[in-house]
Structure 1
Amino acid sequence: MSRRIVLARAVNVGGCTLPMAEWRAIAEALGAEDVTTYIASGNLVCTPPEDHESFDRALEKAVQERFGFFREVVSRSREEAIAALEAHPFEVLEPKHSYVTFLAGTPTAAAIEKARTFETGDDRWEVIGRELHIRYAGGAGRPQMKDVSIGRALAVPGTARNLNTVRKLVALAE
């Protein structure tokens, strides 16, 4: 099995605390090897013991059992993360304002059409395969678009990381 970038959605925000030492311990208890984390936002790089989909679901279940909250887990191979970076369709003016949202699946054409009904101001987004690419004009802390509404309309859970973080995770997965 090859190394994977494993991302937990929305941890260490809104009262859902997942200490990174615990996140590593859970992955190791489930048989992952070469486990490392990066910053306290649910980023894990490891070699999973089995089929990555089964491992991702086992991580979700373990977090819920141990911490009492459910969070989706999405993973990508190093090559898939590199492809997502290369596919980013927007000029990168500031890497911390440009994001890749790694989705759990591919949104339908109807869902994308529905998401396009929301105003975006100077912010931009585009779905390419299983990734939602975003460029915030003024940063994610001051979005002009209704990113939560767009995400709901897409009807596929995902977790976003800025380009700096994705690049670091790719390097860690080497």
Structure 2
Amino acid sequence: MKPDVKHIILLRGVNVGGRTIKMADLKTCMENGGFRNVITVLQTGNVVVDAGKADSEKLRLRVEKLLGDTFHYPAKVLALSPAELETVIRGYPFQNPGPDVHRYVVFTEKGFEETLAHQAPPLDASVEAVSPGEGVVYWRVRKGQTLDSVFGKYMAKAAAKQFITNRNLNTLEKILAKCG
């Protein structure tokens, strides 16, 4: 038997825009797909699994097929190791955000983060800021303005053409804590 190795799976577009997958059903799907110690985190398609020594790309393809076959939609996911997620979290560049700010990490396909960060329309620094990282764009935005902000609107258009999924930094920290 392969040794247990933790992996984090982030689903794109779950429980938004009319696509609803109950986390209990997601957990059952993953277990039926051969994953062990399946833990879902919150209701936004975050899963921690034991999957042996799986390559992230092969794992991504395996999970996308499993989800597509089970829930009948063109599934898109991101597969990360706990170490990769920890690196992303530690890379968040905006310090002391205050209580009126959301801290997000926007995951992209490798290379698209630069385009996403640098081709966005001019941003109002009093509302939001972005900074590219490796495979991610870090985003700070004032609470209540996420969807109406310049970057929020730009990102929604870009998501139609590229793989983009975002998570609040607090959510990512909760996911990492489940990897214990």
TM-score calculated relative to the size of structure 1: 0.85
Alignment of 1:12-23 (within 5 A): 12-23=15-26
Deviation at 1:62, TM superposition (A): 2.2
Q: Match of 2:172?
A: 166
Q: Match of 1:7?
A: 10
- Cα distance in 1 for partners of 2:101, 2:174 equals 12
Alignment of 1:26-65 (within 5 A): 26-49=29-52, 50-65=54-69
Deviation at 1:82, TM superposition (A): 1.3
Paired letter, 2:13: A
Secondary structure of the residue that 1:41 maps to in structure 2?
Answer: coil
RMSD: 2.4
- Cα distance in 2 for partners of 1:95, 1:56 equals 35
- Matched-pair contact (CA < 8 Å) for 1:6–1:73: yes
Q: Match of 1:136?
A: 141
- Cα distance in 2 for partners of 1:172, 1:96 equals 25
Secondary structure of the residue that 2:131 maps to in structure 1?
Answer: strand
- Cα distance in 2 for partners of 1:13, 1:55 equals 24
The number of residue pairs the alignment matches comes to: 172
Paired letter, 2:76: E
Which residue among 67, 73, 79 is the counterpart of 1:69? 73
- Quick one: structure 1 residues 139 and 162, their matched pair in 2 at CA, closer, same or farther if it must change by over 3 Å? farther
- Matched-pair contact (CA < 8 Å) for 2:100–2:142: no
- Cα distance in 2 for partners of 1:23, 1:109 equals 32
- Matched-pair contact (CA < 8 Å) for 2:114–2:132: no
Paired letter, 2:136: E
- Cα distance in 2 for partners of 1:108, 1:28 equals 32
Paired letter, 1:69: Y
Deviation at 1:170, TM superposition (A): 0.6
Alignment of 1:64-103 (within 5 A): 64-91=68-95, 92-94=97-99, 97-103=102-108
Secondary structure of the residue that 1:136 maps to in structure 2?
Answer: strand
Greater alpha carbon shift after TM alignment, 23-32 vs 106-115: 106-115
- Cα distance in 1 for partners of 2:100, 2:29 equals 31
Q: Gaps spanning 5+ residues in structure 2: where?
A: none
Alignment of 1:99-118 (within 5 A): 99-107=104-112, 109=114, 112-115=117-120, 118=121
Q: Gaps spanning 5+ residues in structure 1: where?
A: none
- Matched-pair contact (CA < 8 Å) for 2:7–2:50: yes
- Quick one: structure 1 residues 150 and 12, their matched pair in 2 at CA, closer, same or farther if it must change by over 3 Å? closer
